[in-house]
Structure 1
């Protein structure tokens, strides 16, 4: 059993223990050389067998193990978008899924810059239009996005996030759930968001993406 397999199983169990992967929902992958290890279809993230993972090549060819999650095209899209991507997490976490049912905050991010940690650990998170789960056309749309991102909300579905490794990807998955919960809790209350300059400074310092075109200054400053 390789270290990558053990680490993937630990990350999956951690997310399940936080209640972010109800039932057999959610899937995780990690890059191991020129192959991708990914959870099988219908897998319970709380009880993964590290020796029973699906193995894919970057072109999507099923190389070994059981049948992969039907969401594997989304994972491959992130690996192809950025060579530094080392892991991808897709969840049906409750609050992020709820936010995915609402209109996007801007063209480049469904979620506004509400907290520093959202900008630092996740960054701009576009809303991808609804598609049936596993639809490769949605993954192709993600791969073609003309601006950088390491996370997206799938409309009426939930979040998918990428990271340089499993720790970064799982932290981003937790953070997008937390900021989504805060956003829903605030509701229509007047809310101070980070300014363009504040968000850009955090993104530059922590290597996330919050591009200038994401928002306009007048959108960022309600109720200071």
Structure 2
């Protein structure tokens, strides 16, 4: 995909996520890989009103080379790029996933139970990364500690972050994470039937989430 097409896709998905209430105000950020570096949403930008020509361009090492200044969360994104070789990363403050990140009794190694096959297929296990100030360099080290086995995480008291083999795949995964988080919260305290270990193993073997 050309850089122009990547820029257009970031704008398209940013507007879609904003219009559907999956991120508010100037929250959330998107990055995507291009041949000679990365394209990122600018700091303090609203995903619903992005300008393709003003998106931030970063070189392969993450240095800002053109466009508006990039999101302060680029260290989190680069932990995924360096650890998983993915093509895109999306971070949102979507309501239910963020609510799940604030709950003190979730399993920090897997905050999202296997409640549907699609959360297993598209998201996998979702650890909770300890809280750091938004934009703090420490966040990258914490993400780096989990990316070998995970394509998604909840940032404690902050929200979800997901990587994918394409931007479309990353968006689909973070949407699935939000829906599964919604189901998990709505059914808290109820006798929920989770997928069995055998069912999860079958999904993992069949769909080979990377």
TM over 0.5: yes
Distance in 1 between residues matched to 2:75 and 2:147, nearest whole Å? 18
Q: Once the two structures are superposed, what CA deviation does each residue of 1:128-170 show, in whole Å capped at 9, x if it has no partner?
A: 0011011111111111227411100000000000000111000
**Alignment length, in residue pairs?**
208
Instruction: For 2:44 and 2:36, locate their aligned partners in 1 and report how far apart those are by CA, in whole Å.
Output: 25
CA distance in 1, matches of 2:163, 2:105: 20
Q: Distance in 2 between matches of 1:146 and 1:87?
A: 14
Secondary structure (helix, strand or coil) at the match of 1:31 reads strand
Matched, 1:22 2:24: yes
Task: Determine the structure 2 residue equivalent to 1:191.
Answer: 192
Alignment of 1:1-224 (within 5 A): 2-83=4-85, 85-103=86-104, 105-145=106-146, 147-208=148-209
In 1, distance between residues paired with 2:95 and 2:111?
A: 16
Could you give the per-residue CA deviations for residues 92-120 of structure 1, whole angstroms, max 9, x where no partner exists? 00000000011364353111111111001
The worse-fitting range, judged by mean Cα deviation, of 48-57 and 103-112 is 103-112
Paired residue secondary structure (1:120): helix
Answer yes or no: is the 8 Å Cα contact 1:34–1:58 preserved in 2: yes
Describe the SS at the equivalent of 1:100. helix
| Partner of residue 215, structure 1 | none
Extract unaligned runs of 5+ from structure 1.
Answer: 210-224
Cα shift at 1:63 = 1.7
Structure 2: distance between partners of 1:46 and 1:145: 30
How many Å separate the matches in 1 of 2:191 and 2:80?
35
Structure 2 gap segments, 5+ residues each:
none
- In the alignment, the residues of structure 2 paired with residue 28 and residue 123 of structure 1 have an alpha-carbon distance, to the nearest angstrom, of 20
Q: Is the 8 A contact 2:119 2:177 kept in 1?
A: yes
TM-score by length of 1: 0.89
Contact 1:27 1:39 in 2 (8 A): yes
